[in-house]
Amino acid sequence: MRFFSDNAAACHPAVLEALAEANVLDTAYDGDAWSGRLDDAFSELFETRIEALWVTTGTAANCIALAMLCPPEGAILTHRDAHIENDEAGAPGFYTGGAKLTLLDGVGAKVSPETVREACARVRKDVHQVQPAALSITNASEYGLTYSPDETAALGEACRTLGLGFHIDGARFANAVAATGASPADLTWRAGADALSFGFVKNGGMNAEALLFFTPGHAERARRLRKRSGHLMSKGRYAAAQILALIEDDRWLANARAANAAATALAEACGPDRLVHAVEANELFVRMSPDEAAALRAQGFDFYDWAPGEVRLVTSWDQDMAAVERLAQAIRTL
Amino acid sequence: MRFFSDNAAACHPAVLEALAEANVLDTAYDGDAWSGRLDDAFSELFETRIEALWVTTGTAANCIALAMLCPPEGAILTHRDAHIENDEAGAPGFYTGGAKLTLLDGVGAKVSPETVREACARVRKDVHQVQPAALSITNASEYGLTYSPDETAALGEACRTLGLGFHIDGARFANAVAATGASPADLTWRAGADALSFGFVKNGGMNAEALLFFTPGHAERARRLRKRSGHLMSKGRYAAAQILALIEDDRWLANARAANAAATALAEACGPDRLVHAVEANELFVRMSPDEAAALRAQGFDFYDWAPGEVRLVTSWDQDMAAVERLAQAIRTL
Amino acid sequence: MRFFSDNAAACHPAVLEALAEANVLDTAYDGDAWSGRLDDAFSELFETRIEALWVTTGTAANCIALAMLCPPEGAILTHRDAHIENDEAGAPGFYTGGAKLTLLDGVGAKVSPETVREACARVRKDVHQVQPAALSITNASEYGLTYSPDETAALGEACRTLGLGFHIDGARFANAVAATGASPADLTWRAGADALSFGFVKNGGMNAEALLFFTPGHAERARRLRKRSGHLMSKGRYAAAQILALIEDDRWLANARAANAAATALAEACGPDRLVHAVEANELFVRMSPDEAAALRAQGFDFYDWAPGEVRLVTSWDQDMAAVERLAQAIRTL
Amino acid sequence: MRFFSDNAAACHPAVLEALAEANVLDTAYDGDAWSGRLDDAFSELFETRIEALWVTTGTAANCIALAMLCPPEGAILTHRDAHIENDEAGAPGFYTGGAKLTLLDGVGAKVSPETVREACARVRKDVHQVQPAALSITNASEYGLTYSPDETAALGEACRTLGLGFHIDGARFANAVAATGASPADLTWRAGADALSFGFVKNGGMNAEALLFFTPGHAERARRLRKRSGHLMSKGRYAAAQILALIEDDRWLANARAANAAATALAEACGPDRLVHAVEANELFVRMSPDEAAALRAQGFDFYDWAPGEVRLVTSWDQDMAAVERLAQAIRTL
């Protein structure tokens, strides 16, 4: 009974079926029929004209986007606990040609317009200091918190006035949509975002993420950066097919809702005192003594030690609800 | 009846089966059971201790290898028609941090030890000129020619004396092994190679290539570069499973033999006068007037115009032999 | 009467004389007689065999050193207020190919071995996090504090056990030597440092800094990086001559002592309550109301507003002592 | 009696005088009075509004310009014998973040619009191939040939229609102006050039070159790249003062004319049979047997062996005309 990561879950059956259906000869790279349907599929989902690129990892999606929005001599503002800062092995520096990550504070790995403005105000407008060029936020955040459309729009407005590009790392964007009940459009381009890394791997996909650009024309250079970074697969239809399978019939949303529901059930079992952060998506950060954690593990529950006295539970699209109930019960009886 | 590219062929059924088998929860990244078997599988195949990394594209495999073998201020010697020069969108420059490709001549996109030595001799040993640091060859070459073990060993010896790292782009390595009848070991580490990009996508895979290091310890940094370039997939087992499926039961070799056999059949139909290069692997470069090409296309055969009066035919692991026979017949009757 | 920066002072007369003497035809780049004497001059000064490169700026010296000590995928530990973080326009990211600066805290822009160890301990030893590769400290620090030989050696020992390269930004190294009374050797290689940016521009030079490597063989690659970054001047003798002029007769030390003495005189006038940091070298950070600052400026004293209620005074090698006395008096009578 | 390189000559006395005059306290970096006069001085010389940056080397000037005109994923077209390809240690790759140099042929290291067009036509307009973004020519060329205003304008027109930026490496621009009798404007912006590296070091300067941008607004980012590459000297006035001293009273032109005249005298002595290239500026490539070269050296003449049976003679602004006459006589009597 594993609550380690949605990263490690199996793929949705529809994804495997889609791969089987795509298992025919077609044009190489992204000239195939499946890849050709991506723009339309996302344009419908986001209620605007979108250019969409498949890539294999969230790191690739994030860093191609950042390279589009920030020149080598610029800085990307992001939260101190952001994935791009802590878990991408310096990929932003690689993709941008040495741009800087300027780290912001904020509860629950969320940033506010004030923090963004203050960070920009601290930078002297001379050639000696690296000038901020973009903001990258994560929705849902690294601690499972979501940005509402209003919060996102306030950040978008700050970016607009400060001349910053605006990127959203949506490794768990589906969970954010499910949690907020907001439309994909309201959480992105209507709020001023330029690019979204829309994660499908944590959502039941195998090895395909989508990188979306909301400004027409941006994708052209991004396609070059994708190729140049080795992310243009020759049999691209297998990536596109996965994404289409998850978009169709709103599977992505159903999957996210299932994961969120499992997390909510666990959050109720934990009660407010144990929870380090509010549980809005599919991650829980739970205060727990080593003895308590050991007791749960002895009952067959696996999870990650996050910090002294704190564990992390992550639920997936396919989390077994019986196991969730057993864990909830076990937590209640600690 | 398409003779465009092995890039665009379908996947081998065993690959899809392997993906289905791997469709269970396991550890993320390359901590899973399938990824853990790669080193052993390749070590057995190559008769030496090997470290193996899966990546999704040949460009990624090539360029991570090049970044390992060449510092930013160095040069990589390679043939003027090499894939890394012509078809990777500048990825070698990106991955190495600006290293230079020094272009060599040679019939059939093959290079000789003499060419390598002369290129090194032309470089002044001062700080003004970029010093050669590595050689990259392609086996089978971009024109479908193969390097024998002896030819490879002669290049390896030149590299050793010149202080060059030695990388082999093996996008069609399986075809080279099938064509030469040589062992993987004799075509690589026994001949002095440091790293091999072992292609599986053109061999019936979906989106997994293997990057092999023959020097113990090299893989550690390469794993960091893989992550840093966004190529460490979170559900890595699906990549490893593909590769294992093709290694098992020597499917990779059977697939390559099938593709090569189809090419040989077409080569015989073409006869020596039409062939620009000897046909050793699965590519044919065929002299053909526009009218002749049009005549073939009118019969339903698809292929690529390579140069004025020259077309390229590529055969795949799953090339329909009936179609091959029909094309052979059509060529004979031109 | 300017107390803005030692950056803007004139050059020592001996420097101009040396330029005039060097104004003859000689071999280009660093093949001339003056450049050829640098290694010996620094080797004598540092009591060990040294390889020395002239460059034109401290940024170039620092960043070539960092590129030598840190791979693109690594991190450089440095103080949050370090010049390489705040005032070099992202040059470390450029020179290293995207390495990360990991920021440390510490009073007076100084770092301690504990801080270094803690920063390393916080990094997971996996491929997802950027691994620390080097430490860069500034002596004298950005706030004019010095590291003693013991403090430096403790940091060197931490670097040794942690596997970190150790770079010292010595833009005001002369001032640190003058302030501590320690030998250049005790403040660098005997304390475990790998490389020193030895600043001469703030010390009476025109446009020449020295980059010193204490590990034999390091300079060879550094010379390539110097050329590749456009810092190998064709008439290098004019750079070497400046440095030699300041080394000869210990002018560098006399100049630093003069600057420090001026600062000390001002520090006494300020008294401990006004001083934000102890005054050990040639910089003063002085608590002062806007009205007080305006009063001083009205008397003809120019200086930099550092922070609300705080001004910075910097003294140079050629600071007019009469003006210093007048400023000291003016501060006393505020 | 040295005919090695104009790189190694002494500085013009006016340059040393200017340094002495600038040897007063002023604002740091490029905020000083001398740097502030550069834009005006060059604007007058080029008859248009110009933004001018001092840097210390031609490599820095060239590569900052290239980084402005070519994105990391682009290609710079240049002659196979260009300095940026052969003698800058890979600096273009470093500054651009990995852009490619696409090498063109052409007699005397000159390129023609046809060559440029053909090179662009050979590139497929897909994401797999690196797209040309800029052209860089050298005037006077690496073999001492000049481009006329018409030739330059034809290249500029080709760049305009092909969407290429247009950079001129003018390490010996003064010699080209002197040789052609054309105006600086006609050789640059009127011909469509975007940026010029205007060399002063070979022209009697010490360590200052000028990087000129003809498109308003370009310099802003270039100033950031200058700082980021460590080329913003803190005492910038000493660089600006050198350049101003050479611009004033048209010293740059007189110096170039003197060097060209010395070369012309030697060219006449050589006669057409010995000359590999026409002698238009201040370089001679002379057919000469090893015995002949040895005979000249025995008489005290120093020069560079360029190729088997070929030597290079370079004359400087301060070439002693008596020595020139003696060498001319010695060549005649070979």
Is residue D58 over pLDDT 90? yes
Which residue matches tokens 């046809």? D114
Q: How many CA atoms lie within 13 A of A11 on its CB side?
A: 27
Contact A204, A44 (CB under 8 A): no
Reply yes or no on whether the pLDDT at D66 is more than 90: yes
Per the domain annotation, does D33 fall within a domain? Answer: yes
| Domain final position from A250, A284, A311 | A250
Asked whether residue D152 is assigned to any structural domain, the reply reads yes
Q: Which of D5, D128, D229 to mutate to test the interface with B (most CBs of B within 10 A)?
A: D128
Residues C8/D26, Cβ–Cβ less than 8 Å? yes
Token pair recorded at residue B21: 């088998």
Mean pLDDT of chain B: 97
Give chain D positions within 8 Å (CB) of C95.
230
Q: Which of C214, C229, C250 is the last residue of a domain?
A: C250
Q: How far apart are CA D180 and CA D161, in angstroms?
A: 26
Whole-model pTM? 0.97
- Among the three residues B203, B226, B250, which one is the final residue of a domain in this structure? B250
Of the pLDDT bands very low, low, confident and very high (cuts 50, 70, 90), residue B1 is confident
For D:61-80, CB contacts with C below 8 A are: 61, 63
Q: What is B68-106 written as a DSSP string?
A: HHS-TTEEEEEETT-HHHHSSTTHHHHHHTS-EEEEE--
> What DSSP assignment string belongs to D172-217?
THHHHHHHH---TTTTTGGGT-SEEEE--GGGT-SS-EEEEE-STT
CATH number at residue D91: 3.40.640.10
Q: Tell me phi and psi for residue B59, to 5 degrees.
A: -60, -45
- Whether C39 is covered by a domain: the verdict is yes
Which residues fall within 8 angstroms of residue B224, CB to CB, at 6 or more apart? A89, C73, C127, C131
Q: How far is D246 from chain A (nearest CA, A)?
A: 27
> How far is residue A144 from each of residues A140, A204, A275, D244, measured CA to CA in Å?
5, 18, 12, 61
D91 CA: distance to closest CA in chain B (Å): 8
User: Is the CB of B93 less than 8 angstroms away from the CB of D75?
Assistant: no
Q: What are phi and psi of A251, to 5 degrees?
A: -60, -40
Report the distance separating Cα B174 and Cα B146, nearest Å. 11
Tokens of D126: 């897909």
β-pairing, B310-314 vs A131-138, is unpaired
Residues of A in contact with C87 (CB under 8 A): 128-129
Q: Considering only the beta carbons, identify the residue of C7, C207, C229 that sits closest to D229.
A: C229
Query: What is the predicted pLDDT for the residue at A267?
Result: 98
Hey, is the C-beta of C233 within 8 angstroms of any chain D C-beta? yes
**With contact defined as beta carbons under 8 Å apart, do B220 and B281 qualify?**
no
ipTM above 0.95, yes or no: yes
Q: Are C264 and C227 in the same domain?
A: no
d(CA C52, CA C36): 10
User: What confidence tens digit (pLDDT) does each residue in B27-76 have?
Assistant: 999 999 999 999 999 999 999 999 999 999 999 999 999 999 999 999 99
pLDDT value of position A318: 95
Query: Nearest to residue A311, comparing CAs of A277, A264, A261?
Result: A277
Give the pLDDT of residue B215.
Answer: 87
Helix (H) or strand (E) holding A41: helix A33-46
- Whether residues C201 and C234 share a domain: the answer is yes
Q: Is the pLDDT of residue B8 over 90?
A: no
Tokens of D101: 């140099």
Residue C54: pLDDT over 90: yes
Give the residue among A65, A30, A49, A9 at the shortest CA–CA distance from A241: A30
Instruction: Name residue, tokens 């390229």.
Output: B312
Residue D216: pLDDT above 90?
no
Query: What's chain A's length in residues?
Result: 334
Residue B327: per-residue pLDDT: 97
Contact B73 C224 (CB under 8 A): yes
Same structural domain, A200 and A265: no
How far is residue A306 from each of residues A283, A290, A312, B31, B134, measured CA to CA in Å? 12, 11, 6, 19, 43
D232 touches chain A (CB under 8 A): yes
Mutate to test the interface with C, among A63, A129, A312 (most CBs of C within 10 A): A129
Cis peptide before A140 (omega within 30 of 0): yes
Question: By the 8 A CB rule, do B167 and B66 touch?
Answer: yes
Tell me, yes or no, whether A3 lies in a domain.
no
Which residues in chain B have their CB less than 8 angstroms from residue A61's CB? 230
3-state class percentages of chain B: helix first, strand second, coil last, to nearest 5: 45, 15, 35
Q: State the pLDDT at residue A1.
A: 81
Query: How do strand A74-79 and strand A100-104 relate by DSSP bridges?
Result: parallel
Same-domain status, B219 and B294: no
State the average pLDDT over residues D189-216: 97
**Measured between CA atoms, how close is A64 to chain C, in angstroms?**
15
Report the mean per-residue pLDDT for chain C.
97
Q: Which of B263, B294, B56 is nearest to B145 (CA)?
A: B263
In whole angstroms, what is the distance from residue A42 CA to residue A210 CA?
Answer: 9
* Residue carrying structure tokens 């002299």: B287
Distance of CA A268 to the CA centre of its chain: 24
pLDDT confidence of residue D217: 86
Residue type present at position D334 = L
Residue-wise pLDDT for C225-244, tens only, equals: 999 999 999 999 999 999 99
Termini Cα distance of chain C = 17
Does C180 share its domain with C234? yes
Q: pLDDT > 90: what percent of chain A?
A: 96
Question: What's the pLDDT tens digit per position in D118-168?
Answer: 999 999 999 999 999 999 999 999 999 999 999 999 999 999 999 999 999
Q: Measured between alpha carbons, how far is B293 from B304 in angstroms, rounded to an integer?
A: 10
Q: Does B2 touch chain A (CB under 8 A)?
A: yes
Summarize pLDDT for C155-208 with one digit per residue, the tens: 999 999 999 999 999 999 999 999 999 999 999 999 999 999 999 999 999 999
Q: Is the pLDDT of residue D198 over 90?
A: yes
**C110-113, long-range: CB within 8 Å, 24+ apart, which pairs?**
C110/C79, C110/C137, C110/C141, C110/C145, C110/C147, C110/C151, C111/C77, C111/C78, C111/C79, C111/C135, C111/C137, C111/C155, C112/C154, C112/C155, C113/C154, C113/C155, C113/C157, C113/C158
Give the nearest chain C residue to D317 (CA atoms): C25
In chain D, how many domains are there? 2
Q: Is the dihedral of CA A51, A57, A63, A67 positive or negative?
A: negative
Looking at residue A129, the DSSP 8-state letter turns out to be S
pLDDT tens by residue, chain A, 334 residues: 889 888 889 999 999 999 999 999 889 999 999 999 999 999 999 999 999 999 999 999 999 999 999 999 999 999 999 999 999 999 999 999 999 999 999 999 999 999 999 999 999 999 999 999 999 999 999 999 999 999 999 999 999 999 999 999 999 999 999 999 999 999 999 999 999 999 999 999 999 999 999 988 899 999 999 999 999 999 999 999 999 999 999 999 999 999 999 999 999 999 999 999 999 999 999 999 999 999 999 999 999 999 999 999 999 999 999 999 999 999 999 8
Confidence label for D21 from pLDDT (cuts 50, 70 and 90): very high
* pLDDT of res. A216: 85
CA angle, residues C3, C6, C10, in degrees to nearest 5: 100
Please indicate, yes or no, whether residues C203 and C101 belong to a single structural domain of this protein: yes
Specify which residues C311 forms β-bridges with. C286, C305
- The answer to whether B333 contacts chain A (CB < 8 Å) is no
Contact predicate C211/C64, CB 8 Å: yes
Question: What confidence score (pLDDT) does residue B217 get?
Answer: 86
- Answer whether residue A19 is part of any domain: yes
Same-domain status, B115 and B236: yes
- B24–A contact, CB cutoff 8 A: yes
Shared domain check, D216 and D260? no
- Residue B10 is given by DSSP the state P
Rounded CA-CA distance A276/A292 in Å is: 16
Residue D8 belongs to some domain of the structure:
no
Phi first, then psi, for residue D132 (nearest 5°) are: -60, 135
Reported residue count of chain B is 334
D87 touches chain B (CB under 8 A): yes
Give the model's pLDDT for residue D290: 96
Give the pLDDT of residue C203. Answer: 97
Compute the Cα dihedral for A275, A277, A281, A284 and give only its sign.
negative
Q: Are residues B121 and B210 in the same domain?
A: yes
Through-space distance between the first and last CA atoms of chain D, rounded to whole angstroms:
17
Output the furthest CA–CA distance in chain D (Å, rounded). 60
Q: Cβ separation of D72 and A97 shorter than 8 Å? A: yes
CA angle A32, A34, A40 (to 5 degrees): 115
The Cα of A41 is separated from the nearest Cα of chain C by a number of Å equal to: 32
3-class secondary structure, C41: helix
**Does position C37 have pLDDT exceeding 90, yes or no?**
yes
Residues on chain D touching C94 (C-beta within 8 angstroms):
228-229
User: Do A303 and A235 fall into the same domain?
Assistant: no
Distance from CA of D74 to the nearest CA of A (A): 10
Residues of the domain holding D320: 251-332
Tens-place pLDDT, residues B117-175: 999 999 999 999 999 999 999 999 999 999 999 999 999 999 999 999 999 999 999 99
Q: Could you tell me if D227 and D266 lie in one domain? A: no
**Looking at CA atoms only, how far is residue D154 from chain C in angstroms?**
30
**Is residue D232 scored above 90 in pLDDT?**
yes
B31 touches chain C (CB under 8 A): no
Angle between helices A58-69 and A218-228 (to 10 degrees): 130
pLDDT of residue D5: 83
Give me the amino acid identity at B317: W
- Contact partners for chain D, using 3 or more CB pairs closer than 8 A, are A, B, C
- Whether residue D35 is predicted with pLDDT greater than 90 in this model: the reply is yes
Cβ atoms of C319 and C10 closer than 8 Å: no
Subunits close to B (at least 3 CB pairs below 8 A): A, C, D
Identify all chain A residues contacting D98, using CB atoms and an 8 Å cutoff.
Answer: 97
Instruction: Please check whether residue C218 touches B, CB under 8 A.
Output: no
* Inter-chain CB proximity A87 and C127 less than 8 Å: no
CATH number (domain holding residue D284): 3.90.1150.10
Q: Which residues of A touch B235 (CB under 8 A)?
A: 7-8, 11, 201, 206-207
Q: What is the largest CA-CA distance in chain B?
A: 60
The model's pLDDT over A23-35, given as tens digits with 9 standing for 90+, comes to: 998 899 999 999 9
pLDDT band at B276 (very low <50, low <70, confident <90, very high): very high
pLDDT for the residue numbered C216: 85
From chain D, pick out residues whose CB is under 8 angstroms from the CB of B74: 90
Q: Which C residues in the span 90-149 are in contact with A, Cβ-Cβ below 8 Å?
A: 90, 93-94, 96-101, 127-130
CA-CA distances (angstroms) from residue D246 to A92, D60, D203, D317?
44, 20, 8, 12
Q: What is the rounded CA–CA span in Å between residue A245 and residue D254?
A: 74
Q: How far is CA B239 from the centre of its chain?
A: 17
> pLDDT tens digit string along D83-131?
999 999 999 999 999 999 999 999 999 999 999 999 999 999 999 999 9
Regarding whether C286 and C198 lie in a shared domain, the answer is: no
